Every structure is written in C-alpha cells, then in structure tokens.
C-alpha cells in the first residue's frame, strides 16, 4: 500500500495518549469487518493490518538478527533515519507481510518496529493464514504493549445503496456516530468521513471527549462507483 500511508501512521502514532490497550482476546477487528462485508454480498478490494511498537535501542541488534532468520532483509538510509525492511519470502498469492525497523539518528527519538499484513481478497483460507501470520508476528517480535490498526475497503455494487449499507452497519455494530465530515469541494473524490464507536472493540482514542474506535470513509471513484473503507482510527485516514 501507499508509502504515504505508512508515514502518516508513524506520525500519528506519536500523538495518541488516550489509546486503550485492552482488547477482547477472541475479537479481531479485521475479521469482524470482513465477515460483515461478505455477508452483505460485497467483495473485498484490499485490507491491511498494521502492528506498531517502540523498542529500546539496546534491542535493535538482537531484533535485526532475529528477523534475518525468517525474512529477506534490506537497508536504506537518509539524513534522518536508518530503515531496515524485512519481507516474507514465502510464496503466497493471498496475503503479504513485512516488518520495518525505523531507527532515528537523533538519539532522543525512539526506535519503532512496524509490521504489516495485507491482502486484496478474503475467504476462509485467507482468514486462517492471516490469523496464523499475525499471531506469529505478535508472539515473536512484539509485546503486549503493541498497538494494532486495521482497515478494509470494498466497492459498492450498483444495486446496493451506501446509505442502506451504512444503516445496516450501524445497527449490526451498534455504531455510535460522533462526527461526520461531508466534503463538498468541487472535484473532490471524498463524500463522507464518519467517526464513531462500537462496543465490540475495546481499543479506543478520545474524540470530542467521547471514545472513538472506528472510522468509515465513503469515496467516489472516477466512474462514480463508491468505495467504502472501514477501519480503526489513524490507519484509515489516508483513504
């Protein structure tokens, strides 16, 4: 997915002090969204889960050595940071995973470990592979302090109105809308950005003094179809 998306999440990750880390142990946000989307007769265009955590500089060498045992490694450097990338070498047409270790050159900034699991379709086999991949990454490289962000994009069929889809979604997820932005700028591809809360998920940030843990974006495409992106806050905003 987009390089800008990765940068946006990295920046926002530094400024969310009210993020709750508690989670239902048997509740996965992406699986919730994917299951609902398919039940509505919609396909899945793309999905992404990002896991993020800061680590101590003393852990960097050990982490790099550990990752090199399982992933194909590359390194790049600029004026501000050194970045190691580790990409899964397993052949898979269903999902991809990679891990980045970002080491700021300025010592006052923390080292960040970021893992991404992503794909562009969904079925029972992919769900099983996704859970296995995500859990393996969490267990091997992250602690309980890691933050997880998820999102999924679908394209509305002509016979399914987005208003109806959102109405049913609100009901099924017990979604409490907190804020809605309607973009009326001429030529803009955005139609609506909706922020709110579902009691299904424990992770949350505060918005307008209310808990928020879900966002939806309805976006017009060039051929006037509508793409609907559903996800956890921060990750979805690039869409």
Q: Render pLDDT for 157-172 as a digit per residue (tens, 0 to 9).
A: 665 567 788 888 999 9
| Percent of the chain's residues with pLDDT above 90 | 56
pLDDT of residue 57: 93
Other residues' Cβ atoms within 10 Å of the Cβ of residue 77: 11
Cβ neighbours of 65 (radius 10 Å): 9
Residue 54, pLDDT > 90, answer: yes
For residue 220, give every residue at least 6 positions away whose Cβ sits within 8 Å of its Cβ, in sequence order, or none.
Answer: 189, 190, 191, 226, 227
Mean pLDDT of 114-127: 94
Asked whether residue 20 carries a pLDDT value surpassing 80, the answer given is no
Q: Are 146 and 52 a contacting pair, CB within 8 Å? A: yes
124 vs 127: CA distance, rounded Å: 5
Q: How many residues does the chain have?
A: 239
- For residue 15, what pLDDT band results from cuts at 50, 70 and 90? very low
Instruction: Specify the pTM.
Output: 0.81
Please check the confidence at residue 225 and state whether its pLDDT lies above 70: yes
Amino acid 91: pLDDT: 63
Q: Is 60 exceeded by the pLDDT of residue 179? A: yes
**What pLDDT shows up at residue 203?**
80
Average pLDDT, the chain: 82
Are the CB atoms for 113 and 63 separated by under 8 Å? yes
Q: State which of 1-5, 125-129, 190-194, 231-235 shows the largest mean pLDDT.
A: 125-129
pLDDT tier, 182 (very low <50, low <70, confident <90, very high otherwise): confident
Q: Is the pLDDT of residue 33 over 60?
A: yes
CATH architecture assigned to 3-238: 2-Layer Sandwich (3.30)
d(CA 23, CA 121): 25
Q: Are 74 and 132 in contact (CB under 8 A)?
A: no
pLDDT at 16 over 60: no
């Amino acid at each position: 997915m987009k390089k800008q998306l990765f940068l946006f999440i990295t920046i926002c990750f530094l400024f969310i002090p009210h993020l709750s880390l508690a989670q239902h142990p048997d509740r996965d946000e992406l699986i919730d969204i994917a299951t609902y989307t398919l039940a509505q007769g919609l396909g899945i265009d793309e999905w992404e889960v990002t896991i993020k955590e800061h680590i101590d500089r003393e852990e960097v060498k050990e982490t790099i050595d550990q990752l090199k045992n399982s992933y194909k490694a590359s390194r790049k450097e600029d004026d501000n940071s050194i970045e190691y990338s580790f990409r899964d070498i397993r052949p898979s047409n269903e999902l991809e995973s990679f891990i980045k270790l970002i080491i700021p050159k300025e010592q006052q900034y923390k080292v960040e470990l970021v893992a991404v699991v992503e794909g562009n379709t969904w079925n029972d086999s992919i769900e099983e592979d996704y859970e296995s991949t995500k859990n393996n990454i969490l267990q091997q490289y992250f602690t309980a302090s890691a933050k997880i962000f998820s999102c999924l994009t679908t394209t509305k069929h002509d016979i399914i109105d987005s208003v109806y889809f959102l109405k049913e979604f609100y009901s099924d997820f017990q979604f409490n809308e907190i804020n809605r932005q309607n973009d009326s700028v001429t030529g803009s591809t955005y139609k609506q950005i909706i922020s709110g809360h579902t009691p299904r998920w424990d992770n949350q940030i505060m918005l307008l003094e209310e808990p928020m843990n879900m966002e939806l974006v309805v976006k017009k495409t060039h051929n006037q179809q509508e793409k609907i992106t559903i996800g956890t806050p921060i990750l979805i905003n690039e869409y």
